[in-house]
Amino acid sequence: MTNKHYAIIGGGINGLAVARQLLLDFPEAQVSVFEKEQDVAMHQSSHNSGVVHAGLYYEPGGLKARLCRRGAELVQQYCAENSIPYDECGKVVVALSKEEEGRLDAIYMKSLANKVPDVRMLSASEIRDVEPNCIGTKALYSPRTAIVSYGEIARHIAQEIKSKGGQIFLGRKVTSLSEKNQKITVHFEGNEHHGTQFDYAVSCAGLQSDRLAAQSGDIETPKIVPFFGQYYVIDENFKDHVKGLIYPVPDPKYPFLGVHFTKRIDGQMTIGPNAFISFGRENYSGKRINISDVYDFLTYKGFWKFSSKNMPAAVRELKTVLSQTNFVEEAAKYVPSLANVSAVPATRGIRAQAMESDGSLVDDFVIRKQGNITHIRNAPSPGATSSLAIAEYIVREVMTHH
């Protein structure tokens, strides 16, 4: 193992976590991280809600459930060991109707199966004990759900990688990986390739993961279809109306959670996100249109099948995209005292949503090995929560370090 050389593609929190895990398990290994941006954690790692998910929603026995629970413990431990802010502010998932109560009971059963610590159901009056301004008929309370800055964690991991002898190459856009005689070549933009040949590679390319996998000889699907989510920060004078996190009961017919209140690690209170198709995989401003990204999903039959099945939800989401007032109204169903609160746009995240050609969204993490190349094909939420556990899983279970 001492002279093995690893290439990690992508300097987001997942790529950095894999590089760190390799150096922890194999201190003598040579580890090189290649990131196309001029800094680490420039994409999903720094454009998210910052929630450390406890594992309420995920199918028991699946990778998401297992790696989220383990990941949440590892994130808490990492923050404690490195003096990174970590706020266990708690979360309520609130039902507003009998129909939603039934779905909430199902989530409660999943959370028990996933061994989420200290979860319990609250009656309408008990909700007020946790969130005094929140209304609902019933709620699931997860007191151990926390918030962090994943950007800060990622930057800390990057420093740790360097201190352990790993290398991080910034501004290096990888276009493909090729393997011949068990040696891997990393190809860059402009037909360049890295002089070193690697024994193993792990691709953690997030929003570009399907393209890098396909260009490296892996299968075409699932494809990434980008959905943006806009967050708003509410007027600072009203932030104390919400203590922690207030979420709606998700609709199983639609993949996204709906507008919710999320406390940030800097103490501000946000509402968001909505979820709507993004006209660019990296279009964080919302102002630019990336023609090739748009062409990519418009010519994908899976996108049209998905769209035809989800028109009512898409119309609902479009209203929140077009009208900030509508957005605040959605959130105020849970906290009526905030019905007229002013809010300003904050982070815009873009979710790398993997979609099959039949229009179904891939729910679980997808990690595929092809020769000595491992591709993370799907790691949406709770991908950041699970990052340190995903790294353990890839390094210790998926890769074979012969």
Residue 190 confidence (pLDDT):
85
pTM: 0.96
**Same-domain pairing of 201 and 250:** no
Tally the domains of the chain: 2
**Same-domain pairing of 389 and 270:** no
Helix (H) or strand (E) holding 200: strand 200-203
Residue 69 lies in a domain: no
122, 127, 359, 381 from 105: Cα distances, Å: 11, 16, 28, 22
Question: For all residues of the chain together, what is the average pLDDT?
Answer: 94
Its domain, for residue 343, covers 223-355
Report how far residue 94's alpha carbon sits from residue 136's, in angstroms, rounded to the nearest whole number: 6
**Same-domain pairing of 291 and 317:** yes
**Same-domain pairing of 243 and 308:** yes
Nearest Cα to Cα of residue 81 among 25, 159, 156: 156
Residue 41 confidence (pLDDT):
97
Residue 300 lies in a domain: yes
Residue 114 lies in a domain: no
**Same-domain pairing of 163 and 271:** no
Nearest Cα to Cα of residue 35 among 23, 51, 19: 19
Instruction: Using alpha carbons only, give the angle 47, 50, 56 rounded to the nearest 5 degrees.
Output: 120
**Same-domain pairing of 183 and 322:** no
pLDDT tens digits, one per residue of 200-209: 999 999 999 9
Lowest mean pLDDT among 60-69, 317-326, 364-373: 317-326
| Residue 158 contacts residue 164 (beta carbons within 8 Å) | no
285: tokens are 């401003």
Statement: residue 315 has pLDDT above 90: no
**Same-domain pairing of 281 and 184:** no
Residue 402 confidence (pLDDT):
66
* pLDDT band of 13, cuts 50, 70, 90: very high
Percent of the chain past pLDDT 70, that is, above it, reads 99
Report how far residue 39's alpha carbon sits from residue 31's, in angstroms, rounded to the nearest whole number: 18
| Residue found by looking up tokens 């509410």 in the block | 234
Residue 117 gets which letter from DSSP? Answer: T
Residue 156 lies in a domain: yes
User: How much is the average pLDDT of 322-334?
Assistant: 87
* Partners of residue 224 on adjacent β-strands: 354
Report how far residue 374's alpha carbon sits from residue 281's, in angstroms, rounded to the nearest whole number: 22
| Residue 299 contacts residue 357 (beta carbons within 8 Å) | no
Report how far residue 76's alpha carbon sits from residue 84's, in angstroms, rounded to the nearest whole number: 9
Residue 66 lies in a domain: no
**Same-domain pairing of 314 and 245:** yes
Residue 106 confidence (pLDDT):
96
Statement: residue 1 has pLDDT above 50: no
pLDDT tens digits, one per residue of 174-217: 999 999 999 999 999 988 887 789 999 999 999 999 999 999 99
* pLDDT band of 258, cuts 50, 70, 90: confident
Residue 311 confidence (pLDDT):
83
**Same-domain pairing of 237 and 327:** yes
Residue 330 lies in a domain: yes
Of the chain, the end-to-end C-alpha distance in Å amounts to 8
Statement: residue 268 has pLDDT above 60: yes
Which domain CATH number covers 334?
3.30.9
| Residue 5 contacts residue 29 (beta carbons within 8 Å) | yes
- Position 355, amino acid: M
Helix, strand, coil % over all residues of the chain, rounded to 5? 35, 25, 40
199: tokens are 């024994």
